[in-house]
Amino acid sequence: MPKRVLVGGIWHETNSFSPVKTDLDAFRRYLYLEGEAVISGSRGTNTEIGGMIAAAPDAGLELIPSIYIGAAPSGMVSREVIDLLLARLKADIETAGKLDGVLLALHGAMVAEGIDQADAHVVQAVRDIIGPDMPLVCTIDFHANVESALVEPADVLIAYKTLPHVDMGARGEDAARIISKLIASGKKPHKVFRKLPIITVPQRQPTHESPMREIMAELAEVERDEGILTASVIGAFAYCDVPQLGMAILAYGEKDDAEAAAGRLADAVWSRRAQFKPDLVLPDEAVRRAIAANAGPIFLVEPADNIGGGAPGDGTHLLKALLEGRAREAATVIWDPAAAKAAAAVGVGKRFKGKVGGNTLALHGEPVEIEGTVTFAQAVSYRRDSTWMTGQPADLGLVATVDTGGVKVILTSERAIPFDTLHLRIPGVEPEKAKIVTAKCASAWSGIFGKMAEGHVYVDTPGVCSSNVERMPYTRLERPFYPLDPDTQYP
Ligand SMILES: [Zn+2]
């Protein structure tokens, strides 16, 4: 008889510096699966639950679907979302009949209204319902901010091992195999959790580049040890002002092996801490360098306004520098529904003059006045054509392009996360023919534009996802913390 395991979860990366609240509607628009749809909507996908479904037959599991929801990275999650999720999980656990375990797919950096440690709150609530003995295994994102309150109620936490993230399915398969082992043995593994007082930024976290490449190689070696069930090195999410921020190590298995593995992985991170420092250039200098290169395209990458990290995407510091620096053959994208509508109303071929961007946060700059010819005005939606999130639908709403003579400003009504080339091509910019192209992201740009780029500069603008952590107004970290306090000691 297969073992009966309930499956569900919630996925949200919360940028606590962003004022854009994440309500139930944001979840309904992005990912909202209930009952059988959890299985039918996840089967065959490279997601955690897709992996659990794929591994279930060999692991001897029958999956009982409950609820699985997610929303795009943004600000604080509404309390009603957490309450709804827990009510559904509780009802499904209570009516499922005999259960042998629970699998949850989580992010680990979710913050909700009145709940700093929202993932821990969910896992503890489920533990309280199922009691102390039933196996409970969770997957989490590489950007989780892990803490004891999350580690304690879960028997095992399994984090992604890649950035850009490509191993969600593989980690879901791990979770299915591991819970099957726990059910069969009736034993709980020894767990070791180490928190490191270091903040690292997405720009320096890709796992195919130093220093994470070497650290992940060490992790792979540690996991070859027979005494280790699973281990994780977690990069954490820097844009969350919570006490549990910071990189973390998890190791599960036999006591001595897990202790040794965690110590070795913590050393691997801490000894490389200086290598996590990003290269950053101020906007005026970045524009000057891009113009001086006199080749193209040069990508000006702006991690501080990283839409994928929850930033608004309407920052104007870089646009201002492009206009003042008299950049030519440049293109940039700004989220501004009102300006897109106003420019579209003027009409293609006509002149538009008006302020754009800078609507969400003073930190991201003032609205900037632009003047030029409207060259495109219509609604834009498509499926992503690039290596990352391929096939996912993208909807930019009404889009208008204003050509100022030097800079083509693409104004969008929905936030255009730069995971494809179509958000530029459809509104009239061929990126390979431009001299300068901006990207409001941290590392994902290189997968899509790396091959066509003649060069790139990471720009140091103020913003809620700044790679310059000195700029972030943390109030709740327990100091000292590296690199804010360069002399921080560990352990
Ligand atoms: Zn992530």
How do beta strands 330-335 and 101-106 pair?
A: unpaired
| Residue 428 CA, ligand 1 centroid: distance in Å | 31
Q: What is the pLDDT of residues 169-210, one digit of tens each?
A: 999 999 999 999 999 999 999 999 999 999 999 999 999 999
| Residue 142 CA, ligand 1 centroid: distance in Å | 5
d(CA 412, CA 401): 9
| Residue 404 CA, ligand 1 centroid: distance in Å | 36
The residues near 418 (Cβ < 8 Å, ≥ 6 apart) are: 307, 333, 439, 440, 441, 444, 445, 448
Q: What is the pLDDT of residues 296-334, one digit of tens each?
A: 899 999 999 999 888 999 999 999 999 999 999 999 999
Q: Is the pLDDT of residue 488 over 90?
A: yes
| Residue 483 CA, ligand 1 centroid: distance in Å | 21
Q: Is the pLDDT of residue 386 over 80?
A: no
Q: Which residue has the higher pLDDT, 250 or 1?
A: 250
| Residue 278 CA, ligand 1 centroid: distance in Å | 18
| Residue 328 CA, ligand 1 centroid: distance in Å | 35
Q: What percent of the chain has pLDDT over 70?
A: 99
| Residue 144 CA, ligand 1 centroid: distance in Å | 7
| Residue 141 CA, ligand 1 centroid: distance in Å | 5
Q: How confident is the model at residue 147 (pLDDT cuts 50, 70, 90)?
A: very high
**pLDDT score at 388:** 59
- How big, in percent rounded to 5, are the helix, strand and coil portions of the chain? 35, 25, 40
Q: How confident is the model at residue 164 (pLDDT cuts 50, 70, 90)?
A: confident
**pLDDT score at 19:** 84
Taking the CA atoms of residue 83, residue 80, residue 239 and residue 362 in that order, the dihedral angle to the nearest 10 degrees is -170
Q: What is the pLDDT of residues 80-131, one digit of tens each?
A: 999 999 999 999 999 999 999 999 999 999 999 999 999 999 999 999 999 9
| Residue 162 CA, ligand 1 centroid: distance in Å | 9
Q: Are 204 and 278 in contact (CB under 8 A)?
A: yes
As a whole number, the mean pLDDT across the chain is 95
**pLDDT score at 421:** 93
| Residue 109 CA, ligand 1 centroid: distance in Å | 9
| Residue 308 CA, ligand 1 centroid: distance in Å | 9
| Residue 432 CA, ligand 1 centroid: distance in Å | 28
Nearest to 430 by CA among 410, 446, 404: 410
Determine the 3-state secondary structure of 269 from DSSP: helix
Q: Which residue has the tokens 């999350």?
A: 150
Q: Quick one: 213 exposed, middle or buried, by C-beta within 10 A (0-12, 13-18, 19+)? A: exposed
**pLDDT score at 151:** 98
Q: Is the pLDDT of residue 251 over 70?
A: yes
Taking the CA atoms of residue 77, residue 80, residue 86 and residue 87 in that order, the dihedral angle to the nearest 10 degrees is -170
| Residue 401 CA, ligand 1 centroid: distance in Å | 31
| Residue 15 CA, ligand 1 centroid: distance in Å | 12
d(CA 255, CA 272): 26
**pLDDT score at 390:** 64
Domains and CATH numbers, the chain: 3-276 (3.40.50.2300), 283-467 (no CATH)
Mean pLDDT of 264-284: 97
| Residue 416 CA, ligand 1 centroid: distance in Å | 18
d(CA 3, CA 99): 8
Mean pLDDT of 54-73: 96
| Residue 164 CA, ligand 1 centroid: distance in Å | 8
Q: Which amino acid is at 479?
A: R
**pLDDT score at 308:** 86
| Residue 486 CA, ligand 1 centroid: distance in Å | 26
